[in-house]
Chain A
Amino acid sequence: MKKFLLVFALAFVVAAVSAAPVSAAYPTKPVEMTITFKAGGAADISGRTVAKAAEKVFGQPIVAVNRPGAGGTIGFAYVKTAPADGYKIGWLSASILTGTTMGRLPYDYRAWDYVSRLVFEGTAIVVRGDSPYKSLPDLVKAAKSKTLKIGSAGSGSFTRLTASALSQKAGFKFRHVPLGKRRVPSLLGGEVDAISVHPPEVLALHKAGKVRMLAVSFPKRHPAYPKVPLFSEHGWDVGFYQFRGLHVPKGTPKEAVQALHKAFAAAAKDPKVLATAEKRGFLVSYMGPDKFPAFVAEQNALIKKIVVSLGLDKKKKKK
Chain B
Amino acid sequence: MTEESKKISLSIGRLAVPILLVVFYVWYGSLILELPQGPGEEGPLGPSFVPWLWASLLIVLTVVEIATGYLGKAQENAHTSIERKGVLEALILCLLLAGFAILMQYVGFSASVIAFLAVSIWWSGIRSWKIIIPYVVIFALVVNYVFHHVLKVPLPQDWLF
Measured CB to CB, the residues of A under 8 A from B are: 2, 5-6, 8-10, 12-13, 15-18, 32, 63, 65, 155, 176-178, 311-312, 315, 318-319
Contact = CB atoms under 8 A, between A and B. Distances in A.
B88 A63 contact: no
A8 B107 CA distance: 18
Nearest to A311: B41
Interface residues of B, number: 24
Given A5-B123, A9-B95, A12-B96, A176 B106 contact: no
B98 A63 contact: no
B67 interface: no
B21 interface: no
Given A63-B154, A318-B34, A9 B42 contact: no
24 contacts: A5-B92, A6-B91, A6-B92, A6-B95, A9-B96, A9-B99, A9-B119, A12-B95, A12-B103, A12-B119, A13-B95, A13-B98, A13-B102, A16-B102, A16-B103, A16-B105, A16-B106, A17-B107, A32-B154, A63-B152, A155-B42, A178-B42, A311-B41, A315-B41
A65 B152 CA distance: 9
B41 A10 contact: no
Contacts of B51: none
Contacts of B88: 2, 6
A12 B118 CA distance: 12
Contacts of B115: 12
A62 to B, nearest CB: 12
Contact of B36 (A63, A155, A176, A318): A318
Nearest to B41: A155
Interface in B73-128: 88, 91-92, 95-96, 98-100, 102-103, 105-107, 115-116, 119, 123
Interface of B: 34-36, 41-42, 88, 91-92, 95-96, 98-100, 102-103, 105-107, 115-116, 119, 123, 152, 154
Is chain B's binding surface mostly helix, strand, loop or mixed? helix
Nearest to B98: A13
Nearest to B105: A16
Contacts of B116: 12
A319 B103 contact: no
A266 B36 CA distance: 49
Closest 9 pairs between A and B when the two form their complex, measured CB to CB: A12-B99, A9-B95, A13-B99, A16-B106, A65-B154, A9-B92, A18-B106, A9-B96, A178-B42
